Structures are given as structure tokens and as C-alpha cells.
A and B are shown apart, each in its own frame.
Chain A
């Protein structure tokens, strides 16, 4: 039985539709990331799961039980907020036990729970301090401790790492992952950072303008994005989108404008549905590399000519800005292959990893 089921969920604030019919489910123990740009509705969705926002229409079920009208405290959930929301006038210990006290849990049980959680998160030394005396990472852990101590069916995270600096963010990300592996609770994690989503989630739900764009495993979302929005949102730097035309009636090759002419690229896979004449050709920067001059082309790769416009070394790799006729694309080269600005070079594109999109509805064709 699914731990969380959301069916046809809609939410409107007056005339504004914030969620336009979302279907989602989380199996027990899964880590689901809700990812999307600001305003896509992910925080509203989380608030509705928590019971902090009412449902306009649709159903939310936790462990099969309908919870649309159940108060947050009775939904057996725990939430970690972006700002941690630690009670500033209480000690860490009191912060953690606040919920248990509200529910009338006996003192002995409370103490045991605190000990357990403090050991798990290594915050024993902080129990008597107040939130104002803690660092960002420590506050994060206390917030998680407060959530853990409830032993809920569902963990909800609302952009918990956004307030941390980059280095701390990476550290805490790993901690969250490790915690999830140990504790194994169903988790819904909202973030606008697609890297966090990719590294943490067992399944990713990409949202845009109140609608679910794609709900699948990270690999799937990355390699076979359902539409151009997902393709452009996941991955950094984003996927290159190149307008192209079908080369022949059988849908086996496409024509792409390049520096000084047009190239015909053979598709690696047959089309999954018939396509109009013009299509969008999507290829990620890491799948563009300098073509080998010794002629031994990798199977599934095609060659294009491009003019080098920008070279940005980042240390581990070099980002190259290339121009194909009118279109600018980005490639990720290894530092040893870095070309010079102004050169016209031949680039190899891995066709097995590329995507074709319908320019009208922006969905994936192949």
C-alpha cells in the first residue's frame, strides 16, 4: 500500500489556480523530491500534505486514510522548514519535546526519545542551548531532531538547505541522505535545486506552473525528460535545444544547420510517434565532445561543424561556447581538448543520449 497518495489535487487562491490537478504517490520508505522553479506550486503542495492549507478539490491519503480534513497534528507527519522555525525562547531540548508535551507523552518516554534522537544526530552537547546560540548547520540538525522524535509516517522537508552556504549545503545533503538510509521513512522533499533532487531522491517529481511535468527516477528524468521544460530544468549547464528538420519521410535522420551549411545526423532510435517536419533537437553539453581526427567515430555519434566563441575553464572541465550557424550551444570538454576562440572545429554529438522534442507541445518524441 502506498504511504502517500495524491489524486487530482487542485488548489486555488481566489481566481488564481496554484495547483491544477496533481497525481502523485509515494511508496513506503521512498524519498520523493518535489522540484521546480519558484511559483510552480511545490511549497503549496507540501503545505496541503501537511494540512496547513486546505484542499480545493482532490484527495490526499496517508496510508490509505483520507486526510483532507484532518488537522496537521493528527496526520502523523513531521516537517522541517526552510527557516528551521525553532522556538527561539526554548532550549534545544524543549524544542524537541514541545510536540510530545502537547500530546501528553509521559516524561520518561520523552527523555528516552530525546536521548535517542540526540545520539542519532550528534546534538547531545547542544541540548541546553537556545537556537540563537547555534550555527546554521546545528540548527538544521535540531530541526531534523524535532521532526525525527515524532516517529511519523511521513517526513516533509521544505527547502531545508536553502539558507546554508554552498559548502555546508553539500555536507548537510549527505547527512540527510545518510539519515534517510538509516531511518527509512517516507520523505517528501521540496527544493528548487535540481542537484539536490538528483542526489537525494529515489523518484523526482518535476513541477511547473501548478502541473506535474514528470514523475520518475532521477536517471529517467535526466536521460528521457518528458518535455522541454524538464529537459531544460534538470542538468547544469542546461540541455542545448537546436531547431532541426526531418531529413526524410521515414524519420531516420534530421537536418541541422551548422557552421557553413547543413549536416544530416542519423538518429540512434526510431521515433516513438510520428513527427511534423520541424522538430527540436536536444543534446546535453556533456554529450558534445571534439570529434576525433583519426576518423574512428564512436557508434551512435554524429559530427557537426561549429565556431568556438567562448572558452571557460572551470578546473575539472572546460565549458565551450559554440556557434552552429544561428544557434549558440554549450559543450563540456575535458581541459586537454580545449579549443581556441575563433576556431572552427568539428564536434561529435552522442546521438544515443540525445532527445527530440515536438516544437508545438514541447513533449518528447524520441
Chain B
């Protein structure tokens, strides 16, 4: 092989066929990638622009600045919606975690018929929030639901009218949300409890720790990351709450159970104020970002720390 031929070969590089073959993965990925990109970024940017425009019923592109955001925040309904969101998130996440953890620990006690218990607690996941809201609305109704039942059993003064009381309706939503989602928390906690190294538990037993202490000091700290994961997912659900409210209370009585998502829908499709609706949607995105961005950073930080030690 002469030097010249060798150089010529080296200069030729990969053939066209080889280049095409290497491009196949990217070509196949491209449509989904494009769709995803449009869906995630273009939509958000477009909605953002609409929130700054003078659109009312239909999109129009005159720029008006942040006026709609100001209008939004001056609006009582929006303020109630946002404060409902905070209250709901706090209660929903905390209690769903507690109930889920309790159920998981209970099942972890080597109870019999574990598969049955799990099936019972998890089936709400297969049900849509809309259906749940509808059925629980019936149960909450004073003249046919729980209040009716208890009264008919003899306690004639019993009242349980969450959904008809302005101040208590939000708690009906909280309770129903917890009913729907604690099974999810339970499933994740159960998986976590099962993944704890049994040697840790044995060591604690030898050290003399009783079951409560073992759970509190050894097992639960070990599954701490799961708490975070569950909390993050539940917070997401909370911020996106829409179906449940639409089904259970329709935002009422009055406007006492308004939620951001419902108000945004209202603005966009009932009142023909899409610019203000878009502003509301951006606020929802902001709320999500407040939850997801720190979580994402925390995940990256944790992974980096683990690979450093590994």
C-alpha cells in the first residue's frame, strides 16, 4: 500500500451510505422531537404572548404589556382561587402522605391478604377525578348522602353539609382529593419500605429499638427521598386541579371553591377573555416551576454527590 493511497483513503472519510446510516436515529426521532418542542416551548411562548396582547374572544396581537396580570390579581375570584390552591396543596399533600404512609406501614406488617388491601386502596387511581367528584358530590349532598344516612339511623341532628357551606366546601375538595391520591402515596411508600435493607432493621432490633422507634429513626429516614418524590407529584396534581372541582362543586357555592385552573377555563371559554385566561395559565406555570425547578436541581445535586462517593 503506497503512502499516497493511504492518504487518499484517510481523506475520503465515511461514505455517504455510512453517514446516512448514522443519521437514521435522528431522523426517526425528529417528528416526535419537533412535536414535543412545539408542544412544550412554542405553546408556552405563544400563550405568554397572548397574555400580553389585547385578545378578547379571539387572538389578536396588539401588545398591551402586563395589564392583564394586574387585572387578574385585582380580581377577587382569582385571589380566592389562589388562596384555595395554597390551602388545598398544604392539606392535600400533607394528609395524603400521612394516610399513604400509615396504610403502607400497616400493610408492611405482614398482614394477610395483602394483595386485596392493595387492590382496594389503589383502585381510585384508575378512576378519573371527574367520576370521583361526581360520586362524592352525591355522598356529600344533605338530602340523599351521608347526612341523610346518619339521620335515618337515628342521629336526627347530625349535619354534614360540606358542599353547601361556603366555608366548608373547600374541605370537601381536600377530603376527596386525599381519598383519590393516598393510594398512590401508599404504593410508593410500600415499595420504599420494602427496599430498606433488612440488616438495618435487624441492627436496630439488636440495639434494643422497639417498632415505633425503629420506624421513626431508621426506616423512615432511609426512605426520605420517596417523601420528596411523592410530595412533588402530589403538588403537581394539586396545581393542576380542575376535574375534581368541576365535578364536585363547580367552583361553588358561589365562588368559594374556585381554583386557578377552573377560573382560567372560565376566562378562556365562557367569558371570552382569553388574554386574561392566558395570564392565569402563565401563573399556573409559574407555580409549577416553583415546585419543579428546585426539585430538578436537587435531583441533579444528589446524583452528582452520589457519583462522587461511588
Contacts and interface: CB of A to CB of B under 8 A. Distances in A.
Interface in B1-24: 1, 6, 9-10, 12-15, 18, 21
A66 B6 contact: yes
Give the interface centre of A61, A65, A71 by most chain B CB atoms within 10 Å.
Answer: A71
B44 to A, nearest CB: 32
Contact of B14 (A59, A61, A64, A69): A69
A64 B1 contact: yes
A346 B6 CA distance: 62
A64 B1 CA distance: 7
Given A66-B9, A68-B10, 14 more contacts: A59-B6, A59-B10, A61-B1, A64-B1, A65-B1, A66-B6, A66-B10, A69-B12, A69-B13, A69-B14, A69-B15, A69-B18, A71-B18, A71-B21
Contacts of A59: 6, 10
A296 B21 CA distance: 74
B115 to A, nearest CB: 27
Contacts of A69: 12-15, 18
Interface string B221-243: 00000000000000000000000
Contacts of B9: 66
| Chain A: number of interface residues, binned into ranges | under 10
Nearest to A68: B10
A64 B3 CA distance: 12
Contacts of A71: 18, 21
The 3 closest A-B pairs by CB, nearest first: A66-B9, A69-B14, A64-B1
Interface in A67-105: 68-69, 71
Interface of B: 1, 6, 9-10, 12-15, 18, 21
A97 B6 CA distance: 35
Nearest to A7: B6
Contacts, number: 16
16 contacts: A59-B6, A59-B10, A61-B1, A64-B1, A65-B1, A66-B6, A66-B9, A66-B10, A68-B10, A69-B12, A69-B13, A69-B14, A69-B15, A69-B18, A71-B18, A71-B21
A66 B1 CA distance: 10
B138 to A, nearest CB: 50
A68 B15 CA distance: 12
Contacts of A66: 6, 9-10
A201 B245 CA distance: 75
A69 B21 CA distance: 13
A59 B1 CA distance: 14
A195 to B, nearest CB: 29
Nearest to B22: A71
Contacts of B18: 69, 71
Contacts of B1: 61, 64-65
Contacts of B12: 69
Nearest to B7: A66
B17 to A, nearest CB: 9
A67 to B, nearest CB: 9
Contacts of A64: 1
A68 B12 CA distance: 11
Nearest to A71: B18
Contacts of B15: 69
A68 B6 CA distance: 11
Nearest to B14: A69
A59 B3 CA distance: 12
A325 to B, nearest CB: 40
A42 to B, nearest CB: 22
Nearest to A54: B14
A154 to B, nearest CB: 18
Contacts of A68: 10
Contacts of B21: 71
Nearest to A67: B9
A30 B12 CA distance: 31
A71 B1 CA distance: 21
Nearest to B8: A66
Contacts of B14: 69
A183 B16 CA distance: 36
A310 B258 CA distance: 81
A62 to B, nearest CB: 12
Contacts of A65: 1
A66 B5 CA distance: 10
Nearest to B17: A71
Nearest to A69: B14
Interface string A23-64: 000000000000000000000000000000000000101001
Nearest to B6: A66
Contacts of A61: 1
B81 to A, nearest CB: 49
A232 B271 CA distance: 82
A61 B9 CA distance: 11
A268 B272 CA distance: 101
A304 B121 CA distance: 79
Nearest to B13: A69
A47 to B, nearest CB: 16
A59 B12 CA distance: 14
B233 to A, nearest CB: 33
A317 B249 CA distance: 87
A64 B14 CA distance: 18
A69 B19 CA distance: 10
A68 B14 CA distance: 9
Interface in A125-149: none
Nearest to A74: B18
Nearest to B21: A71
B247 to A, nearest CB: 45
